[in-house]
A = this chain, B = another copy of it.
Amino acid sequence: MTDSPTGSATADLSEASSAMDDPAYRAAVVDLLGAIAYGEISAFERLAEDAKLAPGLEDKVALATLAAGQLDQVAALRRRLEELGADPFEAMTPFRKPIEDFHRHTAPSDWWEGLVKAYVGDGIAHDFYREIAAFLDPETRDLVIATLGDTGHADFVVERLRAAFAVDRQLSGRLALWGRRLMGEALTQAQRVAAERDALAALIAGGVDRPGLDLVAVGKMFSRMTERHAARMTTLGLAH
């Protein structure tokens, strides 16, 4: 309940419970938390796998630590799903295929692609959570924001890539294309989810007594995400 802009803890609580009285809103929250939880489990698996590509033990440990951090919030998401009367693993199931498809279509072919994916993929996911948090009751919002976690570990990605580009200029050209492909694939899967999960889509579109986004606003949201993606690519030295 900290950092809530809407008032006291008591007000937040009643707001949360009244929001949950709306079955469509509750279904959307179950979907969202299920998607985030499966996304984190899947990110753990992929990063643990990609850590094998590390050129040395120190890099391997750095990526493995990023992987392990993905699981930090899974227990909290699971608890919240149970409180909402949902089976956590059933809630995750609809997101298994789009998330696995994303990873299958973006399997890194080497260590450098793995590093860019760890940084860029995490960034896209976090941007999306931050955007969607605006439509949530404060309690759910706090939980979603908590899953953003500590991104400090990712600093090593920036360092490693910048050092590599300094000695291999071709590498940055290849990885700039790779970064664009990651963003494209993320949008493809996100659209698929939006098309298939009515409750989630309705959450963004708004409800009778809940503000939502019209098409123009949705477009603006995606352009904000694209801008932030471009900023991350620049941070990595992958501006084009």
Contact = CB atoms under 8 A, between A and B. Distances in A.
**Majority DSSP secondary structure for residues of A touching B:** helix
Contacts of A48: 44-45, 48-49, 64, 67
A144 B38 CA distance: 34
Nearest to A47: B48
Interface stretch (A50-58, A170-178, A202-210): A50-58
Contacts of A92: 57
Contacts of A93: 57
Interface string A34-72: 000010010011001101100011101100110111010
A71 B67 CA distance: 10
Contacts of A61: 41, 71, 74
A140 to B, nearest CB: 21
Interface residues of A, number: 24
A41 B67 contact: no
Contacts of A57: 38, 41, 89, 92-93
Nearest to A89: B57
A238 to B, nearest CB: 28
Contacts of A56: 89
A52 B45 contact: yes
Interface in A177-209: none
A45 B44 CA distance: 11
29 contacts: A38-B57, A41-B57, A41-B60, A41-B61, A41-B64, A44-B48, A44-B64, A44-B68, A45-B48, A45-B51, A45-B52, A45-B64, A48-B48, A48-B49, A48-B67, A56-B89, A57-B89, A57-B92, A57-B93, A58-B89, A61-B71, A64-B71, A65-B71, A65-B74, A65-B75, A67-B68, A68-B68, A68-B69, A68-B71
